[in-house]
Every structure is written in C-alpha cells, then in structure tokens.
Amino acid sequence: MQTKPCNRCRGDTELMTSDSVSGEAEPLRITLKNLPLLACQQGHHQFVRPGFGAELLMHLVHEDEPELPAGEEKGFFRKKYLCENCSQSLEPKPDHRHTFSIEVQLKDIEPIDLELSMPVYKCSSCGKEQLHSQKEVLKLTPQALAHVFEAADIPPPPGAI
Ligand SMILES: [Zn+2]
Ligand SMILES: [Zn+2]
C-alpha cells in the first residue's frame, strides 16, 4: 500500500501496526489487536486511508456483528429478550462477559484481529448463551470504535464519521 504525507506535519509516513488498542461504550468493549496505521517521524498517526474508520465500522455492523448469537427483542414498554434457539425468555441478568474473536477482512488490508466483549445471557430453558439483542451492540459500536481510534491517537479525518 502506498503511504502519503502526514496530515499534521506533512512529513513522510511509514505503514505500521499498532499494539493492541481498546475502546469502550459501556458495556461493549472493542479491542483491535493489530490496527494498521500510518506514522510519521514526529509520531503522528493517521488512518491507512481516509475512509478506513468508516469502512471498519460498516464491516462490523453489516457483516460481523449480525453473526453473533443474540436474542430477539420483544415488547415495547417492558423489553423482553427471547432465545434465538428455542424462543424462551433469556435471564434478565447477564451470566458473564464473553469475548468474541472476529477477523475483519477489509480490501487490500491484512486481516484485523478484533475482540468484542459483551455480557452474555443464558436461556432459562436450553442454556444457550447469547447477547440480549443485536440492536444493542450495533448501537454502541460507533462510540466504542471512536474510543479505539482515540486510544491509538488517530484524530478523526476532517469530514469523517
Ligand atoms: Zn507528522
Ligand atoms: Zn433457549
């Protein structure tokens, strides 16, 4: 991949991979184990390409997170969550936190190893562990990811998410 000048000091940049970085939007925690980025001599970081943050978000929300085991949200005023396996009610209290490992494959970029940690709930009938609802995770993802990029010291590019 071609590098480009630093967007802060115009210095030359090099492609590098950040160490593990995490971001939270309670109770969701996202960790990127190998975030690719461009770094200059002064230590400024930027995305490998301007749309990278949005690409990663779209991939997660549209392709990866829909694969996670999750209950079905029912009810309007009092929410209930039903098991995706047997349609019985899920326990109201989380059982424990589970870390899901996801490999995100973006075009022309080495696969990114991502960990998504969320409380999981047990089905009172069949015992299957799952998220309460997918919607909950999808809603929290943009904020958690923004905090990941903050932790990696990458300012959002002008005009992006
Ligand atoms: Zn710089
Ligand atoms: Zn069940």
pLDDT profile of the chain (161 residues), mean per 10: 86 95 98 97 94 96 97 89 96 94 95 97 95 96 96 77 49
Residues 6+ apart with CB under 8 A from 32: 18, 20, 21, 22, 112, 113, 114, 148, 152
Q: How many angstroms is it from 118 CA to the middle of ligand 1?
A: 36
Q: What is the pLDDT of residue 16?
A: 95
CA dihedral (142, 148, 150, 154) in degrees, to 10, reads -100
**Any idea which ligand is nearest the CA of 46?**
1
Q: How many angstroms is it from 47 CA to the middle of ligand 1?
A: 13
Q: What Å distances lie between residue 155 and 7, 46, 67, 85, 124, CA to CA?
A: 10, 7, 30, 42, 44
Q: How many angstroms is it from 47 CA to the middle of ligand 2?
A: 42
Classified as helix, coil or strand, 156 is coil
Q: How many angstroms is it from 32 CA to the middle of ligand 1?
A: 23
Q: What is the pLDDT of residue 159?
A: 56
Q: Where are the domains of the chain?
A: 20-34+55-148
| pTM to 2 decimal places | 0.91
Q: How many angstroms is it from 32 CA to the middle of ligand 2?
A: 31
Q: How many angstroms is it from 39 CA to the middle of ligand 1?
A: 7
Q: What is the pLDDT of residue 126?
A: 97
